[in-house]
Structure 1
Amino acid sequence: MAQLYYRYGTMNSGKSIEVLRVAHNYEEQGKSVLLFTPSIDSRYGTGVVTSRIGLHKEATIVGDDTDMVALTCEAMPDCVIVDEAQFLSEAQVLQLTEIVDRLKIPVLCYGLRADFMGRLFPGSTALFSWADKIEEIKTICWYCNRKALMNMRYKDGIPVFHGEQIQIGGNESYLPVCRRCYKEARTRFVEAAGANV
Structure 2
Amino acid sequence: MSKVYFYYSAMNAGKSTVLLQSSHNYHERGMRTLLFSPAIDTRAGVGRIKSRIGLDAAAMALPADENIFHHVRSAHAAQPVACVLIDEAQFLTRAQVEQCTDISDELHIPVLCYGLRTDFQAQLFPGSAALLALADNLIELKTICHCGRKATMNLRVGPDGRGLKEGAQVEIGGNERYVAMCRRHYKEALA
Q: Specify if TM > 0.5.
A: yes
Q: Which has the larger radius of gyration?
A: 1
Which ranges of structure 1 fall in alignment gaps of 5 or more residues?
188-197
Please state how far the C-alpha of 1:122 moved relative to its aligned partner: 0.1
TM-score w.r.t. structure 2 length?
Answer: 0.96
For 2:70, the equivalent position in structure 1 comes to 70
1:147, 1:67 → 2: CA distance?
36
For 2:51, the equivalent position in structure 1 comes to 51
Q: Aligned letter for 1:50?
A: K
1:144, 1:46 → 2: CA distance?
35
Q: Aligned letter for 2:94?
A: E
Residue pair 2:162, 2:189 contacting (<8 A) in 1 also: no
1:79 paired with 2:83, answer yes
Taking the TM superposition and a 5 Å limit, the aligned residue runs for 1:35-46 are: 35-46=35-46
Please state how far the C-alpha of 1:65 moved relative to its aligned partner: 2.4
For 2:151, the equivalent position in structure 1 comes to 148
For 2:139, the equivalent position in structure 1 comes to 135
Residue pair 2:37, 2:87 contacting (<8 A) in 1 also: yes
For 1:8, the equivalent position in structure 2 comes to 8
For 1:195, the equivalent position in structure 2 comes to none
Q: Aligned with 2:147: secondary structure?
A: coil
Q: Aligned with 2:90: secondary structure?
A: helix
Q: Aligned letter for 2:92?
A: L
2:100, 2:111 → 1: CA distance?
7
Q: Deviations over 1:51-97 (max 9, x none)?
A: 01111100011112212112111222100000000000100100101
Aligned partner of 1:158 among 153, 157, 162: 162
Aligned partner of 2:186 among 182, 187, 193: 182
Q: Aligned with 1:102: secondary structure?
A: helix
TM-score w.r.t. structure 1 length?
Answer: 0.93
- Give identity over the alignment, percent: 51
Please state how far the C-alpha of 1:105 moved relative to its aligned partner: 0.5
Residue pair 2:12, 2:143 contacting (<8 A) in 1 also: yes
Q: Aligned letter for 1:20?
A: L
1:29, 1:93 → 2: CA distance?
27
